[in-house]
Amino acid sequence: MALGRARRGERQIDYWPGFVDALSTLLLVFVFLLSVFVLAQFVLTQEIGSKDDAMARLQAQIRQLTDLLALERANDSESESQMGALRASLLRLEQERDALQQAATAVASPEEIAAAQARSADLARELGQEKDAASQAAAQIAILNQQIAALRRQIAALEQALDISEQKDKESQARLADLGRRLNVALAQRVQELTRYRSEFFGRLRAILGDRPDVRIVGDRFVFQSEIFFDRASADLRSDAMPALDKLAEALVALEKEIPSDISWVLRVDGHTDNRPIATPLFPSNWQLSAARAIAVVQYLAGKGVSPQHLVAAGFGEYQPIDGADTDDARARNRRIELKLTER
């Protein structure tokens, strides 16, 4: 009766680890896509940073030129006010000269005429100086107008360069967004292709193994009881396990020829033990035992022609049980070797 219950327990398929592995595979794909997105964001940030630096320099130049233009305009206004003062002074001097001339023509004493002539000469000198000053101010205003026109041209050129830079920045962002979309599509296609090859591999392996009660399919993994390959507390492959491994190696070699080289994939061999502690000179813990068993399977497959680049060995010890019960049947189920075709 106990044997019958054990066999019925072995026939039960535990779907939960399969769901966990499927979710872990989706999580790995999501993490990979997120890494690509972060990388694209980093490149975009670098490019935008350089654009921002250039735009900041252009804006600083525009502000500097604007300040110069304001200064020149202030100087222009000051020159205009000086010109107005000079014109008023000239008008006053001319009026005073005319008054003196009129006074000179009127009846006056010789002393008054001499004083008027001296004053007229002084006014003529002041008038000449004022005219010279007015000419210099007019020349300075002309130069300032030329400088203002040149500054306006420089500001217009800088604004045009800034517009061009902003347009290039928008185009770069659009190209990066398009690149991200194309990359996501390519990644999705690669995942679909690997899923198709995984299904083909499962079909071949199922045909090779047949309906063995000690081999189960859990999610996207083949689960072998450790006793198929190893004796108790040993990591040496049993001789009667080698024919099945030979067929597995043949299927993997054929699969390597079919999967395109640009698809990164590996066959992961996971070693698991039960929760009974082990402490031998060769295996101080269940971790060492599970890892040694996975390595033994990987080395045998590599010796049969499977590329080592497509093989991974992992030891999980007793820390990933598929049956948490504290019974001999549960411990037997937990002692296992799992094969999983997955992304690298």
Digit-coded pLDDT (tens) for 223-239: 889 999 999 899 999 99
| Out of 113-122, 279-288, 327-336, least confident range | 113-122
Looking at the structure, do residues 260 and 217 belong to the same domain, yes or no? yes
Helix (H) or strand (E) holding 9: helix 2-11
Domain boundary among 150, 173, 189: 189
pLDDT at 304 over 80: yes
**Domain that includes residue 302, residue range:** 2-34+197-343
Question: Does residue 8 register a pLDDT over 50?
Answer: no
CA separation for the pair 189, 191 (Å, rounded) = 5
| Greatest mean pLDDT range, 18-22, 26-30, 310-314 | 310-314
Amino acid at 178: D
Give Rg (Cα) of the chain: 47
What's the whole-number average pLDDT of the chain?
77
Of all residues in the chain, the percent with pLDDT exceeding 90 is 26
Contacts of 117 (CB under 8 A, 6+ apart): 104
**More confident site: 8 or 40:** 40
Q: What is the largest CA-CA distance in the chain?
A: 160
Does one domain contain both 60 and 115? yes
Rounded distance between C-alpha atoms, residue 235 and residue 249, angstroms:
19
Q: How many domains does the chain have?
A: 2
Over range 124-128, report the average pLDDT.
Answer: 74
Q: What percent of the chain has pLDDT over 70?
A: 64
Q: Are residues 67 and 18 in the same domain?
A: no
- Give the end of a domain, one of 172, 189, 206: 189
The pLDDT of residue 11? 47
pLDDT given for residue 190 in this prediction: 56
* Model confidence band, residue 14 (pLDDT cutoffs 50, 70, 90): low
Structure tokens at 77: 């206004």
Q: Output the pLDDT for position 10.
A: 46
Q: Answer yes or no: are the C-beta atoms of 332 and 225 closer than 8 Å.
A: yes
Q: CA of 179: how far to CAs of 50, 52, 160, 197, in Å?
A: 20, 22, 29, 27
Check if the beta carbon of residue 102 is closer than 8 Å to that of residue 58: no
pLDDT at 314 over 70: yes
pLDDT higher than 70, residue 268: yes
98 shares a domain with 206: no
**Is the pLDDT confidence value at 185 over 60?**
no
Q: Are residues 123 and 201 in the same domain?
A: no
Query: Does the CA dihedral 127-129-132-133 come out positive or negative?
Result: negative
The lowest-confidence range among 4-13, 88-97, 109-118, 264-273 is 4-13
pLDDT at 7: 43
- What's the whole-number mean pLDDT along residues 185-206? 61
Judging by beta carbons within 10 Å of its beta carbon (0-12, 13-18, 19+), is residue 293 exposed, middle or buried?
buried
Which of 87-101, 183-197, 229-243 is least confident? Answer: 183-197
At 2 the pLDDT is 41
| CATH classification of the domain holding 223 | 3.30.1330.60
Least confident of 53-62, 248-257, 289-298: 53-62
What is the structure's pLDDT at 262?
75
Tell me the whole-structure pTM to 2 decimals. Answer: 0.47
Give me the count of residues in the chain.
344
Examine the domain organization and report whether 29 and 57 are in the same domain: no
Where is the domain boundary, 167, 189, 211?
189
Q: Which of 112-116, 143-147, 184-188 has the lowest mean pLDDT?
A: 184-188
Tell me which of 18-22, 36-40, 227-231 is least confident: 18-22
Residue 173 lies in a domain: yes
Residue 6 included in any domain: yes
